[in-house]
């Protein structure tokens, strides 16, 4: 099941090897450590760049995070879960 969230989140990230990589995020008062980035892609929205990351934490869900250069902000876009 895919749940559309579209909520701002606080994200910790590193910039390594010329690439941005999320390491943790805070959503609804809970901290999620990014255990693995499953994939990423980029998209242009007008003149702004959006970077998308599918990540897993210690939960069975897959989270889709987005970084937008429009305002330099992070969002949790979707949560993919079984069921």
Q: So where are the chain's domains?
A: 2-80
pLDDT digits (tens, 9 = 90+) for 11-54: 999 999 999 999 999 999 999 999 999 999 999 999 999 999 99
CA distance 55 to 63: 5
pLDDT of residue 82: 87
CA distance 82 to 47: 36
CA distance 8 to 48: 17
Q: What is 5-68 written as a DSSP string?
A: EEEE-EEEEEEETTEEEEEEEEETTEEEE--EEEEEEEEEETTEEEEEEEEE-SSS-EEEEEEE
This prediction has a pTM of 0.93
């Amino acid at each position: 099941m895919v749940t559309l969230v579209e909520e701002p989140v606080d994200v910790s990230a590193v910039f390594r090897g010329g690439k941005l990589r999320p390491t943790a995020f805070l959503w609804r008062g809970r901290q999620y450590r990014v255990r693995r980035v499953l994939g990423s892609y980029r998209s242009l929205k007008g003149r702004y760049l959006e970077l998308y990351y599918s990540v897993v934490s210690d939960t069975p869900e897959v989270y889709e995070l987005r970084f937008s250069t429009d305002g330099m902000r992070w969002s949790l876009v979707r949560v993919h879960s079984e069921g």
